[in-house]
Structure 1
Amino acid sequence: MTASEHPETPASQAIDFSMVLASAVHDMKNSLGMLLNSLDELRTEHKDSFHNSKRFNTLQYEAERMHNDLVQLLGIYRLGERNLSAHVEEHYVPDFLQEHMARHTPLLEGLGIEASIEASDITGFFDADLLTGVMNNTINNALRYTRSRIRLTARFHQGFLVLGVEDDGDGYPDAMQHSGTLSFKSLDFNSGSTSLGLFFASSVAQLHKEGERTGSIKLHNGGDLGGGVFEIWLP
C-alpha cells in the first residue's frame, strides 16, 4: 500500500509550523503572566524577605522581560500575517500611564528606583492593548539601564500625542538613536541585539494613522533626567 493510500501518514499532513510556534508562544505568554502575578503576591506576603532581595528582583525582572518578548513576537507574527490592526479609542492619558507605572511599582520599589509621571491633563486616541505592549517593554528596558530614576511623560506636540519614557542612565549609543520608522530588514540577528522591541514599537506607531499622518518613534538622549529618552508619536 502506498503513502497516498494512507491519509494520516506524515507525507500527507500539511503543518503550518509558524502557526504552531505562535500557539506555543501564546501559551507561554499566558503562563508567564500567571507567574508574574504569583511573584507580586509573594513579594507582598513576604515583603521583609523579598523586598530587597537581589535574586528575587532579578527573577521578577527577567520574567517580565520574557513576557514582553513573547507579546512582541505574537504581535510581529500577526503583522506578518496581515491581521494586526489598531482599534483606536479615546483614553485619558494620565490614567493610562498610571496603570502602567503601577504594574511595575513592586519591582521599582524592590530595585530602589524612583518613578514619576509628568503628563498633561489630556485625552488621546490610540489602541490601548498595542500601546501596553510598547510601554511595558520600554519601561522594562529603562529599569535595566537607569541608575536611580525613570519618568513617564505625555504631551501634545505639532498635532501628535507624544508618550515618553526617560531614565537617568548613560543614554542610547549613537547607533541606536533614531527618528522615524524601522523596517524588518534593518534588524541584525547576528549582533546579539536584534532590536525586536523597537521594531514592534515602530510597527505599532505606524498602525496609528490620521489622514496622511502616521505614527513613529524617536530615540535620543537628554530629557530632564539626562539619560535615554524613548518617544512614540501618535497622530
Structure 2
Amino acid sequence: MSDQSHSGANNRREIEVPDFSMVIASAVHDMKNSLGMLLSTLDDLRKEQQGSPEEHPKLNILQYEAERVHSDLVQLLGVYRLGEQRLSAHSDEHYVGDFLNEQLARHQALLDGYGIDYEIVADDSAVGFFDAELIAGVITSSLNNAIRYTRSRLRLGAREQDGWLVISIEDDGNGYPQSMRETGEALLRAPDFSTGSTSLGLYFASAIANLHHNGGRRGQIRLHNDGELGGGVFEVWLP
C-alpha cells in the first residue's frame, strides 16, 4: 500500500508557476481596457443627460475617479515595460496646438462639470517631434492632477525655449510643495513603495520624457510655482 502511494506521488505532475509580474501586467492591461470602455459609456451618458454638466455632480465624480484609475493603470503598464526594456519613444512630427486641443477635448466635459475655466496658449503653426501616445499619457496624468488641485482655472501651453519644446500645464491652486519642486534626474529615482507616497506619476512622466532624445540631450520634466495663474506649473521639456 505504501509503495503504491509513493509511486502515485512520484507520478504527480508539478504545477508550473507563471511569472507573477507578467500575470499582473496582463491583468492591468485588461482592467485598463475595461475602464476605457467605461469612460466611453460615461461620455454617452453625459450626452443623454438634460441640463448643464454642473448639474450632475455624481457623474463628475465617477468620471474623474475612472480617469484617475485609468491613468494609474497606464503608468503601471509603462513602468513594467520600462523594466522589461520594451518601451521606447517613436517620434513623429506633430502640430503642437492640434495635439493639445485633442488632449483637452478628452477632459472638456469633466472640466465643464467642475466649472473650471481653461485655455490653450500655443502657436497653431508650432511643430514638435515626439511620441504622441506616450506624451498624451503624461499630459492626461498631469491634467487629472491639476483638476484635483486647481481652484477654477487651467492653462495648457507650448513654447520653444533654447531649442526645447516646452509643454506646460498650469493651475491656480496652492502650487507644488518645496519637496516636489525638483528637476531632471532627481525625478528619475525609482518609486519607494515602502512609504505612503510613491510619486509614481512623476516617475512615469520623467521616464517618458527621458526616452525622447536628440543631439545628446534628453527630455525631462520640471515642477515650479512661477506661472501666471499663481499655482503649480508642470512642464515637459522635449529636445
Instruction: Give the TM-score normalised by the residue count of structure 1.
Output: 0.94
Q: Which has the larger radius of gyration?
A: 2
**1:107 aligned onto 2:110:** yes
**1:202 aligned onto 2:203:** no
Q: What is aligned with 1:225?
A: 229
- What SS does the corresponding residue of 2:31 show, helix, strand or coil? helix
Deviations 1:158-207 (A, max 9, x none): 1111000000000000101111132344x332442211010000000110
Cα distance in 1 for partners of 2:158, 2:188 equals 26
Percent of matched pairs sharing the same residue: 59
**1:56 aligned onto 2:59:** yes
Tell me how far 1:53 sits from its aligned partner: 2.3
Cα 1:157–1:6 change in 2 (3 A) is same
- What SS does the corresponding residue of 1:161 show, helix, strand or coil? strand
Cα distance in 2 for partners of 1:123, 1:47 equals 39
**Higher mean C-alpha deviation, range 149-158 or range 39-48:** 39-48
Q: Select 1:215's aligned residue among 207, 214, 219.
A: 219
CA contact (8 A) 1:43 1:51 kept: no
Tell me how far 1:2 sits from its aligned partner: 6.1
Q: What is aligned with 2:25?
A: 22
Tell me how far 1:102 sits from its aligned partner: 0.3
Q: Which runs of 5+ in 2 are unaligned?
A: 1-6
**1:175 aligned onto 2:179:** yes
1:1-235 mapped onto 2 (5 Å cutoff): 1=7, 5-7=11-13, 9-10=14-15, 13-48=16-51, 51-120=54-123, 121-181=125-185, 182-185=187-190, 187-235=191-239
Deviations 1:85-110 (A, max 9, x none): 00011101000000000000000000
- What SS does the corresponding residue of 2:18 show, helix, strand or coil? coil
Cα distance in 2 for partners of 1:102, 1:197 equals 21
- Taking only aligned residues, the RMSD between alpha carbons, in angstroms, comes to 1.5
Deviations 1:53-79 (A, max 9, x none): 222211110000000000000000000
Instruction: Give the TM-score normalised by the residue count of structure 2.
Output: 0.92
- What SS does the corresponding residue of 1:227 show, helix, strand or coil? coil
Cα distance in 2 for partners of 1:49, 1:210 equals 46
CA contact (8 A) 1:22 1:74 kept: yes
Cα 1:81–1:4 change in 2 (3 A) is farther
Cα 1:41–1:50 change in 2 (3 A) is same
Cα distance in 2 for partners of 1:87, 1:51 equals 39
